[in-house]
Amino acid sequence: MKFEASKAAALNRLNNFVEQNLSEYSKLRNFDFGPENRTNISGLSPYITHGVINEKEVIEKSLSKFSFSKNEKFIQEVLWRTYWKGWLELRPNVWTDYVAELNKIREEYKDNQNYKNAIDGKTNIECFNYWVKELKENNYLHNHTRMWFASIWIFTLELPWQLGAEFFMQHLYDGDSASNTLGWRWVAGIQTQGKHYLASEWNIKKFTNNRFNNIKLNETAPPKVSEKTYSIVKQDFSNKNIDDENLFIFENSLSFETTDFQNHKFKKIYIISNKNENRSIKLSEKVIKFKSLLISDQKQRLENNSINCEVVDISEVKNINEKVIALYPTVGENLDYLNSNNLKIDFLYRKLDQYSWQYCNKGFFNFKNYIPKIISSLN
Q: How far is CA 107 from CA 14, 22, 102, 157, 224, in A?
A: 42, 45, 9, 18, 21
Tens place of pLDDT per residue across the chain (379 aa): 899 999 999 999 999 999 999 999 999 999 999 999 999 999 999 999 999 999 999 999 999 999 999 999 999 999 999 999 999 999 999 999 999 999 999 999 999 999 999 999 999 999 999 999 999 999 999 999 999 999 999 999 999 999 999 999 999 999 999 999 999 999 999 999 999 999 999 999 999 999 998 899 999 999 999 999 999 999 999 998 888 899 999 999 999 999 999 999 999 999 999 999 999 999 999 999 999 999 999 999 999 999 999 999 999 999 998 999 999 999 999 999 999 999 999 999 999 999 999 999 999 999 999 999 999 999 8
- What is the DSSP-derived secondary structure letter of residue 95? H
51, burial (CB in 10 Å: exposed 0-12, middle 13-18, buried 19+): buried
Q: Is the pTM of this model over 0.85?
A: yes
Q: Which domains does the chain have, with CATH numbers?
A: 7-89+356-377 (1.25.40), 112-207 (1.10.579.10), 246-348 (3.40.50.620)
CB of 198 closer than 8 Å to CB of 221: yes
